Chain A
């Protein structure tokens, strides 16, 4: 029998009677990670991986009814054995492994296969059926190693600093920001952050992730030389706002997987695009799907039809799942505001 089916409320496990990342309030919700389109407000009971607790409580409210599991810890619910395994996407992100009468399904949520120091690395879990995302499900998407991207950011920052210009780096406040903070060379100069970012940085620090010291932009007086020497990190929604005026002459950049395409870079209208994504690229998706050994694959949000067709050509039983996560169908447009799914 199918352990997960698509219902109007979200992905549903019939024998266990619970949902995975539902987009409407339900009785029981298993949450793969804290991004807004996966963790939604209003359900009665939440279950998530322990490292993500701080994030979920800061986003959905401290009082939510939340049970957590360590990665790999098993629980049983209506004869369904459930465990959570690292997805390598953001702090606390998990794949959901479901076992019922010898049948194993894994719902990946969002995942990234390249390890980074801000969250537990992706763990391949053997299964019969795998539910995969497909955000970057086209062969054009192949990431460079993150060390090269961080070095690029460092160089850009140094050059701006030498020219007496502020470096404003736009990125999503949860996940991407911390990964950048962790990866860049903090000895170059002061790091200033937008007010919307610091609470999430604190959650990461509280969870034991080592991040360099950051200052809130609002703590720095106007005209302070640190504004021009510093790296300023802000959510994309701050771009073009009056908040930017304090920096005077600045260079701006945007960090996202979508920045791989020239058209997306030009539309974004920033000086630089850094191709840094928290999702698997095309080789990553294909590797994860091959590695888990599944014969059946359900594809959710992203390039659904393309990945389905490709997997069928590889001899797998692949199908589409219609979900309300992130971008629909074959969109390749970068999300425009900070509340949307990051990439």
Chain B
């Protein structure tokens, strides 16, 4: 635990990727395989389920620190991180336990799950007494499942690859599924990650997916595309679908559906299980899971899409439904017949990663596309659609097509180099995918409530609730209606300024929340908007964030609810 805590401190202390890489390599070079196995699990984003309820954790911490609840909560509010708060409040041990990470987890922490509070009260404080302040914080983060330390999976992959002198892509492949809850990390699994490459390794087994190839944001005006990207003919353009990125894996007569977070979600989408009969063994498809309603005259959708002129027309994507509907399916454990009928899903296929058992990823994009088209046509399932190609003879023409994105319910376009391979993660060495998103929706809203933030924003009032007016300017007695919460988008300097203003304009405090005399206007951006019964305003916006602090606008000049309603699809 001590070595892992020291690694955490090193990673946390720097923003340099090289310094982080060096810290990871130093750690893995020294660590016992069973400890390294768990370190990889956590660093690559693995989360065990919460081992101890937060409430119990807080109560035991208050007792150990001999503090009343209110003082503990005030401390937590200032620190903005539960594990850090507890570590700062408890008397620290002089020396940290020598016991390794694996032993801590397997013999001490994992067995805590489900224990009665009396038993937890017995065990936890005695564990804490063995840890210094840093190790204590890390330990509590492992317990709460809130362990995060600014290391990308890619960086872990590189550290292991450097150490074992392997191709990082190979390590990435081996890491797929490593953080799945059903597999417990072990020395054996860790040693497999860094083992020398074996001859037959490229052949995939079981339901193992490939690492997803991730896109980069394209933030250039279209006039510069020719010089930055080359001619439009070298690129494959598609809509950027607003759904869940998935891989469909069909092998050994079985179908697996993986989300981009490498979570197995097969069970949640029974509507797609029929594909097991239509896809051939040894097929892996990359695509977007979306809610798709088939129109009455739309029985042969994929045929229609293929036969249609390869130009985007509204009719080609008329079946796509807003993401808000898909949210009704995500996370739902029991799926009623009604829900399945009302919110049917389909996969919008856009890449072919394995075909007839062969890894297709090193084939050029256009070649994979040809294979994909044939496959989807042969499959002839209304649940497997082909993401249409968007054809234009110039970037300007493509940019013009992109204007239709909002109306079509897509987020913009994807640009994929025709000759490029399918890469690993967010790499650019063998090809690149660009996401060319449309500008977000935006509205000028008034800051109404503020709460202190967490992490980097800890102790500053940075978590805001925003409101718009319920009537046009000049209407007597009009009022502000809260509609969105946002916390990102401000610079550090702006955060401090706004924090100071929040403190000065506080009307009332409700627990951690302050209501404010309205004085600040922000331009809020968001990706989607939908009707909502749960919100007082009657609407819900997706991924809201602050685009700009409108210091040039008064509160009276902020936008109205009617303007938001006009944006509804």
- Distance, CA A328 to CA B68, complexed state (A): 24
Interface string of B382-425 (1 = CB under 8 A from A): 00000000000000000000000000000000000000000000
Report if B12 contacts A (CB, 8 A).
yes
With known contacts A140-B85, A261-B84, A332–B71 Cβ distance under 8 A: no
A271 cross-chain contacts in B, Cβ below 8 A: 13-14
Tell me if A262 and B499 are in contact (CB < 8 A). no
Interface string of B85-100 (1 = CB under 8 A from A): 1001100000000000
Report if A263 contacts B (CB, 8 A).
yes
Tell me if B85 and A263 are in contact (CB < 8 A). no
- Distance, CA A279 to CA B30, complexed state (A): 41
With known contacts A140-B89, A261-B79, A332-B459, A306–B71 Cβ distance under 8 A: yes
A208 cross-chain contacts in B, Cβ below 8 A: none
Tell me if B85 and A264 are in contact (CB < 8 A). no
Tell me if B459 and A264 are in contact (CB < 8 A). yes
Tell me if B492 and A269 are in contact (CB < 8 A). yes
- Distance, CA A271 to CA B495, complexed state (A): 21
Report if B108 contacts A (CB, 8 A).
no
Which of B67, B88, B89, B495 gathers most chain A CB within 10 Å? B88
Complex: chain A residue closest to B84, CB-CB: A262
With known contacts A261-B84, A262-B12, A138–B459 Cβ distance under 8 A: no
Tell me the chain B residues, 10-36 only, with Cβ under 8 Å from chain A.
12-15
Report if B293 contacts A (CB, 8 A).
no
Report if A142 contacts B (CB, 8 A).
yes
A303 cross-chain contacts in B, Cβ below 8 A: 74
Total interface residues on B, using CB and 8 Å? 33
Report if B482 contacts A (CB, 8 A).
no
Report if B496 contacts A (CB, 8 A).
yes
Query: What range describes how many residues of A lie at the interface?
Result: 20 to 34
Tell me the chain A residues, 137-154 only, with Cβ under 8 Å from chain B.
138-140, 142
Tell me if A139 and B71 are in contact (CB < 8 A). yes
Report if B456 contacts A (CB, 8 A).
yes
- Distance, CA A267 to CA B499, complexed state (A): 14
With known contacts A262-B81, A263-B458, A333-B459, A328–B503 Cβ distance under 8 A: yes
A316 cross-chain contacts in B, Cβ below 8 A: none
The A interface is mostly helix, strand or loop, or mixed, namely loop
B15 cross-chain contacts in A, Cβ below 8 A: 269
Report if A313 contacts B (CB, 8 A).
yes
Report if B305 contacts A (CB, 8 A).
no
CB proximity of A257 to chain B, nearest CB, Å: 13
Q: Per a CB cutoff under 8 Å, which of B74, B84, B492, B503 touches A267?
A: B492
CB proximity of B12 to chain A, nearest CB, Å: 7
Complex: chain A residue closest to B15, CB-CB: A269
Report if B75 contacts A (CB, 8 A).
yes
A142 cross-chain contacts in B, Cβ below 8 A: 88
Tell me if A332 and B456 are in contact (CB < 8 A). no
Tell me if B79 and A263 are in contact (CB < 8 A). yes
B12 cross-chain contacts in A, Cβ below 8 A: 262
Tell me if A139 and B13 are in contact (CB < 8 A). no
Report if B460 contacts A (CB, 8 A).
yes
Which of B67, B81, B85, B456 gathers most chain A CB within 10 Å? B456
Tell me the chain B residues, 457-484 only, with Cβ under 8 Å from chain A.
457-460
Tell me if A139 and B503 are in contact (CB < 8 A). no
Tell me if A266 and B456 are in contact (CB < 8 A). yes
Tell me if A138 and B458 are in contact (CB < 8 A). no
Report if B80 contacts A (CB, 8 A).
yes
With known contacts A263-B456, A313-B68, A138–B496 Cβ distance under 8 A: no
With known contacts A263-B455, A264-B458, A140–B88 Cβ distance under 8 A: yes
A272 cross-chain contacts in B, Cβ below 8 A: 13
Tell me the chain A residues, 237-283 only, with Cβ under 8 Å from chain B.
260-264, 266-267, 269, 271-272
Report if A329 contacts B (CB, 8 A).
yes
A262 cross-chain contacts in B, Cβ below 8 A: 12, 81, 84, 455, 458
Which B residues have a C-beta under 8 Å from some C-beta of A? 12-15, 65, 67-68, 70-71, 74-75, 78-81, 84-85, 88-89, 453-460, 492-493, 495-496, 499, 503
Which A residues have a C-beta under 8 Å from some C-beta of B? 138-140, 142, 260-264, 266-267, 269, 271-272, 303, 306, 309-310, 313, 328-333, 336
9 tightest CB-CB pairs across the interface, nearest first?
A263-B458, A140-B88, A332-B459, A266-B456, A332-B78, A140-B75, A306-B74, A138-B75, A263-B80
Known: A261-B459, A263-B457, A269-B15. 13 other contacts (CB 8 A): A138-B74, A139-B67, A261-B79, A262-B12, A263-B79, A263-B456, A266-B455, A267-B457, A267-B492, A267-B495, A269-B492, A328-B503, A331-B459
